[in-house]
Amino acid sequence: MHDVSLFVPCAVDLFLPEIAESTVTLLRRAGVDPVYHKGQTCCGQPAFNNGYRKEAKRAAKHFIELFGDDEVVMSPSGSCACTIKFHYPELFQDEPEWFRRATELAARVYELTQYLVDVLKVDDFGAAFDGRVTFHESCHNLRKLGISAQPRKLIAGVKGAELVPMNQEEFCCGFGGTFAASYADISESMAQDKVENYLASGADVLLLSEPGCLLNIGGYLSRAHPHKKAMHLANFLTENMKEARS
Amino acid sequence: MKIRTEQFNELAAVEIDKARARPFLKMVPEFMYRIRNAGMPTLPDPPAAQKYAAAVRAEVVSRLPDLLEEFERNATANGAKVIWARDAKEANDFIVGLAKERGVKTVIKGKSMISEELGLNDAFKANGIEPWETDLGEFIAQQMDLPPFHIIAPAMNITVEEVRDCFMDKAGMKTPTVDPVELGYAARVFLRDKFHRAEMGVAGVNIAVAETGTVINVENEGNIRFSKSAPRILVSVMSMEKCIPTMQDAVDMLRVLIRNCTGQRISAYVSMESGPRKQDELDGPDELYIVILDNGRSQIYQDEGVREVLRCIRCAACVNICPVYRQIGGYAYGGAYSGPMGQTLMPLLFGLDRTKDLYRACTLCGACASVCPAGIDHPKLFLTYKAKDVQGDPQFRTGKRPAREAIAFKLWGMGVASSRLWNLGARLFRPFFNWNAHDGKVSSMPGPLGAWFRKRDLPKMAAKPFRDRWEDIKRRKP
């Protein structure tokens, strides 16, 4: 039994708490009962990505103090996991003790689908779905963490679900955090492309495993195509599991 | 060069509208990306070749001064004259001065981004010398008085009807036609006369080989070779970082450069100049001048945190894959280098204060870095520039961030280190955020986040965040 600590990104905590609930359900199904530190806030990515490294460092120190002793830190967002894995060590180039703690922690951080499939070796959660789904590859998951096969295995484990390809599935949806509001023209246009590709795929549901992309693609769909759905894979799996949620 | 990066958003919006009406921007970069992906597997081990190229470029930028001196020694021994230019003015003054001294009236040019960076055409014209671009796309752009839209395909955004009208108007075409072969022929006839008359040729440099003093150009139209061999005087202009240690390295780099660029195993023309024409040689220029341009690059070299920018070999793989470029095209970047290659280079050349949008208008998706044969991590550089911009860096001329943003992050920084403050902040923010909520979603908002809601909703903030649900969830333990 691993000691798994839930890292719930702030956007999930505040806007999409069901993703974190589904994460707990899946972990318990896979035989792991996670712990949750209530003191967690934000990993610091917004500050880091906007150049506010001093502030990002405050977030990083808070995070490292809180999660530093956990055997595994697991997040339903690969992008936030990347902040810990790659940016924390960068932040502490000039502080050896914090650098050591940051690098040690970095090695123990996982994204949800990666942890379920690669570590726990579970890809069948007994879910069933009669329809077609397609998958959006999120940038940081795909290119920074090399995650693509894992969510696809989880989708393959869903009885009846047919995974159909989507044009440009590895292309960015245009979220990019504050980019989405600062460069709204470009961001909207990218979201529109993504949605058009989704519609053209003929899928009933667009699946993804990154909350940021969900806010963006889901937000665009909600306005332009309210009948079409985008879902985090964790929610899709739990909603289509035969037994009641734990 | 007229730097227009300050107008990034306006120019971007114009092109997004155009792109919706005209599908070229949806097609051309995707097409080039696909031919690259089809070309890469013609290498026995593409990832290894990419890594090898990156290693060569990393070595180059780690000992650039030595390599440049070696290049100068060998090029000079071959009979070329090497000129060091600290900035665009020095380079232009030399080239234009030389042209005037030799009574040059007509100059033919091979497509060269460095000459765009210099604004060399304007400098020629201001001195009564006619510069003619001879790359077909660049020729069209020049005649229409437009900057290059794409480094490889500078006129890809111009419709064939516009090209027809332009050629009727300015390139002596007699009968209007939109037939591409006829148009190409018209340009050929028109330019052939310039090639014959030109007393000077100007070309860029793809690779400069230190051990042999050779300058190498790759192209598909033959116009660069023509520009390099027909006129008596040849000026090859290179930026400092084009230097590479050995001819073997150059051959290895060509394999990777050309595949990343156009997917070809080798371009139709590869020309190498090791000095001017020798007595027993049939063609080539009588005089060869190699201008090595600094224009801010030695300062980039000094800063190890950003030095990797100089690894770039301008293959444009990053441009073609960039999802932002695919929306806005090349004009918004406001300079010679569009897409990620320009977004990383131009802020350091022209100042972080004047180029804010270049390193901010990016989702950090990392597609550029995933294809870069030089091993450049563009997103990491953007993050470095942003950190410099916030902290202040006189070396690269940073400005000031808006006070509202700075205060917001200051407050955020206080809250993020204390869960008590963080939760308090979330509780206080929720009623404001959810003020206009309907059916569980929010569709408009005043303030800096408002732009999000023009075409998108957000879910409303949960009445009960996950942290407040945890006790229940824990109790439901199986």
Judging by beta carbons within 10 Å of its beta carbon (0-12, 13-18, 19+), is residue B326 exposed, middle or buried? buried
**Chain A environment of B387 (Cβ under 8 Å):** 51, 53
Mark yes or no for CB contact A61/B461 under 8 Å.
no
pLDDT at site B116:
93
The rounded distance, in Å, linking the Cα atoms of B306 and B302 is 9
**Chain B environment of A187 (Cβ under 8 Å):** 363
Closest CA to B142 of B156, B159, B150, B154: B154
Taking only residues 239 to 268 of chain B, the set having a beta carbon closer than 8 angstroms to any beta carbon of chain A reads: none
Residues of chain B with pLDDT > 90, as a percent, come to: 88
Q: Is the dihedral of CA A166, A167, A170, A171 positive or negative?
A: negative
The C-alpha of B181 sits at a distance from chain A's nearest C-alpha, in angstroms, of 33
A interface mutation test: which of B416, B418, B472 has the most A CBs within 10 A? B416
pLDDT at site B2:
59
The rounded distance, in Å, linking the Cα atoms of B334 and B341 is 13
The C-alpha of A33 sits at a distance from chain B's nearest C-alpha, in angstroms, of 8
Residues A7, A81 contacting (CB under 8 angstroms): yes
CATH code for the part of the protein at A123-239:
3.40.50
Domains in chain B: boundaries: 43-295, 403-475
Every domain range in chain A assigned CATH 3.40.50: 123-239
The C-alpha of B65 sits at a distance from chain A's nearest C-alpha, in angstroms, of 28
The rounded distance, in Å, linking the Cα atoms of B305 and B76 is 33
B interface mutation test: which of A4, A5, A8, A14 has the most B CBs within 10 A? A14
pLDDT at site B289:
98
What token pair was written down for A152? Answer: 């696809």
Query: Residues B302-322: what's their mean pLDDT?
Result: 97
pLDDT tens, position by position, B13-61: 888 887 766 678 888 899 999 999 999 999 999 999 999 999 999 999 9
B43-295: CATH, from 3.30.420.40, 3.40.50.150, 3.20.20.70, 3.40.50.10420 = 3.40.50.10420
Closest CA to A75 of A102, A101, A105, A112: A112
Mark yes or no for CB contact B9/A21 under 8 Å.
no
pLDDT tens, position by position, B433-451: 999 999 999 999 998 889 9
Q: Considering CB atoms only, which of A17, A39, A180 is closest to B466? A: A17
pLDDT at site A2:
53
pLDDT band at A3, cuts 50/70/90? Answer: confident
> Cα–chain-centroid distance for residue A178?
17
- pLDDT at position B307 over 60: yes
Mark yes or no for CB contact A172/B363 under 8 Å.
yes
pLDDT tens, position by position, B182-191: 999 999 999 9
What string of H, E and C letters represents the secondary structure of B31-94?
A: HHHHHHHHHHHHCCCHHHHHHHHHHHHHHHHHCHHHHHHHHHHHHHHCCCEEEEECCHHHHHHH
**Chain B environment of A193 (Cβ under 8 Å):** 323, 327
Whether B463 has its CB under 8 Å from any CB of chain A: the answer is no
Query: Residues A147-161: what's their mean pLDDT?
Result: 98
Q: Is the dihedral of CA B132, B138, B140, B141 positive or negative?
A: negative
Residues B271, B225 contacting (CB under 8 angstroms): yes
Tally helices (H) and strands (E) across chain B. Answer: 22, 12
pLDDT at site B20:
67
**Chain A environment of B47 (Cβ under 8 Å):** none
Whether B391 has its CB under 8 Å from any CB of chain A: the answer is yes
pLDDT band at A70, cuts 50/70/90? Answer: very high
pLDDT at site B283:
84
The rounded distance, in Å, linking the Cα atoms of B73 and B244 is 14
pLDDT band at A1, cuts 50/70/90? Answer: very low
Whether B464 has its CB under 8 Å from any CB of chain A: the answer is yes
Q: Considering CB atoms only, which of A24, A42, A190 is closest to B327? A: A190
Whether B477 has its CB under 8 Å from any CB of chain A: the answer is yes
Residues of chain A with pLDDT > 90, as a percent, come to: 97
Mark yes or no for CB contact A55/B413 under 8 Å.
yes
pLDDT at site B114:
94
Q: Considering CB atoms only, which of B362, B366, B416 is closest to A44? A: B416
- pLDDT at position B427 over 80: yes
* Neighbouring-strand partners of residue A131: A161
Closest CA to A172 of A197, A153, A202: A197
Q: If you ran DSSP here, which 8-state letter would residue A35 be given? A: E
Size of interface A-B (CB pairs under 8 A): 194
By DSSP bridging, strand B441-442 and strand B458-459 are antiparallel
**Chain B environment of A141 (Cβ under 8 Å):** none
Query: Residues A63-77: what's their mean pLDDT?
Result: 96
The rounded distance, in Å, linking the Cα atoms of B273 and B201 is 13
E strand or H helix at A55: helix A53-67
- pLDDT at position B376 over 60: yes
What strands lie across the sheet with A109-111, from one edge to the other?
Answer: A35-36, A4-6, A72-75, A109-111
Judging by beta carbons within 10 Å of its beta carbon (0-12, 13-18, 19+), is residue B232 exposed, middle or buried? middle
Judging by beta carbons within 10 Å of its beta carbon (0-12, 13-18, 19+), is residue B58 exposed, middle or buried? middle
CA dihedral B197, B202, B206, B212 (to 10 degrees): 90
pLDDT band at B8, cuts 50/70/90? Answer: confident
Q: Is the dihedral of CA B272, B277, B279, B282 positive or negative?
A: positive
Residue with structure tokens 């995933």?
A: B370
**In this structure, what are the phi and psi dihedrals at residue A228, rounded to the nearest 5 degrees?**
-95, 145
Residues A69, A38 contacting (CB under 8 angstroms): no
**In this structure, what are the phi and psi dihedrals at residue A229, rounded to the nearest 5 degrees?**
-110, 140
The rounded distance, in Å, linking the Cα atoms of B433 and B429 is 6
This complex has an ipTM of 0.96
pLDDT tens, position by position, B195-243: 999 999 999 999 999 999 999 999 999 999 999 999 999 999 999 999 9
Mark yes or no for CB contact A17/B470 under 8 Å.
no
pLDDT tens, position by position, A118-141: 999 999 999 999 999 999 999 999
pLDDT band at B110, cuts 50/70/90? Answer: very high
Whether B327 has its CB under 8 Å from any CB of chain A: the answer is yes
Residues B230, B108 contacting (CB under 8 angstroms): yes
